[in-house]
Amino acid sequence: MTRANLDKQPHEVAAMFDDVAAKYDLTNEVLSLGQARFWRRAVAEAVAAGPGQLVLDLGAGTGTSSLPFQEAGAQVVPCDFSIGMLAEGKRRHPELALTAGDATRLPFADDSFDAVTISFALRNVQETEAALREMLRVTKPGGKVVICEFSTPTWSPFRTVYTEYLMRALPPVATRVSSNPDAYVYLAESIRAWPDQAELAAKLQRAGWQKVAWRNLTGGVVALHRGFKAA
Ligand SMILES: C[S@@+](CC[C@H](N)C(=O)[O-])C[C@H]1O[C@@H](n2cnc3c(N)ncnc32)[C@H](O)[C@@H]1O
């Protein structure tokens, strides 16, 4: 069993995802109480890619987060640094162009993609701002970024209940449905340590993204941030 710490050494994070790959999507559905599908639809609407457009889905894991772009007729490149997640993705979706790569050193040329998106993965990247700069580098001028990540519930009573739900309920539930319950202890801890909506927006701006804005989903349990590369 591999447990990543909050200092997120990249090899520990990759090994942790290798361990959970087989049951990753099922565990997600159970722990998000079915909200995961709704969040994925919202990401696809925000990216709004269609035929003739090239989308990079970073930290794509098993490729589940890439499917809505393919369904919308865009060409999607799912990229991840966990070989276990990529192998599971290849088994389930052989048609996807799954690609191995590290978010902080992307194996793509400058100005390649119409849109770059990352769902539930930026939190796991050790150097957040390095990844945001790499995402900017590979985006075409005028192109966009959409980040889907756990965030801070806006209504304080709900925030308290949510934090209790996360810290207390998540690990015991994960023990029953996941192959690596420790990964879900890390999940709860990493959500608590993650910057709130305004702080993440500031990081995007510092990395060079323009017209940065966000939208809360499920009361701020998740936030979608977007930005544009200067035309
Ligand atoms: C929680 S999963 C999300 C998978 C998928 N995007 C989804 O929404 O289901 C996070 C993924 O980010 C990947 N990841 C974490 N750090 C990464 C990095 N530095 N470069 C590439 N992938 C990374 C992990 O390997 C893992 O597959």
Distance 81 CA to ligand 1 centre (A): 7
Q: What is the pLDDT of residue 187?
A: 81
- Cβ of 66 less than 6 Å from ligand 1: no
Is 90 exceeded by the pLDDT of residue 27? Answer: no
Distance 157 CA to ligand 1 centre (A): 30
Residue-wise pLDDT tens digits, 64-93 = 999 999 999 999 999 999 999 999 999 999
- Cβ of 10 less than 6 Å from ligand 1: yes
Atom of ligand 1 nearest to the CA of 104: 19
- Cβ of 184 less than 6 Å from ligand 1: no
Give binding residues for S-adenosyl-L-methionine as ranges: 62, 80, 102-103, 119
Mean pLDDT of the chain: 90
* Out of 2-11, 109-118, 192-201, least confident range: 2-11
Atom of ligand 1 nearest to the CA of 102: 20
Q: What is the pLDDT of residue 4?
A: 56
Is 90 exceeded by the pLDDT of residue 102? Answer: yes
Closest CA to 151 of 64, 211, 209, 217: 217
Q: How confident is the model at residue 1 (pLDDT cuts 50, 70, 90)?
A: very low
The domain limits of the chain are 10-228
Is 70 exceeded by the pLDDT of residue 205? Answer: yes
Is 80 exceeded by the pLDDT of residue 96? Answer: yes
Higher pLDDT, 22 or 199: 199
pTM confidence score: 0.93
CATH of 10-228, one of 3.40.50.150, 3.30.930.10, 3.20.20.70, 3.40.50.720: 3.40.50.150
Residue 175 Cα distances to 31, 37, 55, 182, 185, angstroms? 11, 23, 35, 8, 10
Q: What is the pLDDT of residue 86?
A: 97
Substitution site in 80, 86, 90, 134 for ligand 1 pocket (most atoms within 8 Å of beta carbon): 80
Closest CA to 27 of 179, 182, 217: 179
Residue whose CA lies nearest to ligand 1 atom number 13: 59
Closest CA to 119 of 166, 66, 51, 175: 66
